[in-house]
């Protein structure tokens, strides 16, 4: 069984509960901050989870490209830095 289709997103926020939704806006997870009435921590946690999940495949693919490229690319260090930099940039911008 595989996980719910990506991308995930931070959903609505009501009374200290923040949701994480799938691409069809179906509720996947609800996060509750122990400090009733404050959504800041729940929203930050939800955003962190969503960012990590949505970038997981790209970062993994970049690492696989680097691992495969070690024997195929004459200037491996520059190749690896470029692949890693692209993956990092995409993760930071999302």
The tens digit of pLDDT for each residue in 8-34 reads: 999 877 766 888 998 888 888 888 776
CA distance 7 to 52: 11
| Mean pLDDT value across the chain | 82
Task: Tell me how far CA of residue 90 lies from CA of 3, 83, 86, in angstroms.
Answer: 21, 11, 6
Report which secondary-structure segment, H or E, holds 68.
Answer: helix 40-69
* pLDDT of res. 34: 67
pTM here is: 0.73
**How does 1-17 read in b/e, with b if 16+ C-beta sit within 10 Å?**
eeeeeeebbbbebeebe
State the average pLDDT over residues 59-87. 79
- The two tokens of residue 80 are 């690896």
């Amino acid at each position: 069984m595989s996980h719910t289709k990506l991308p995930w997103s931070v959903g609505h926020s009501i009374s200290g509960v923040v949701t994480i939704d799938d691409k069809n806006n179906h509720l996947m997870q609800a996060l509750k901050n122990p400090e009733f009435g404050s959504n800041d921590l729940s929203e930050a946690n939800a955003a962190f989870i969503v960012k990590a999940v949505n970038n997981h495949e790209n970062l993994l693919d970049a690492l696989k490209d680097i691992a495969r490229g070690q024997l195929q690319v004459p200037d491996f260090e520059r190749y690896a830095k470029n692949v890693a930099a692209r993956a990092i940039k995409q993760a930071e911008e999302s």
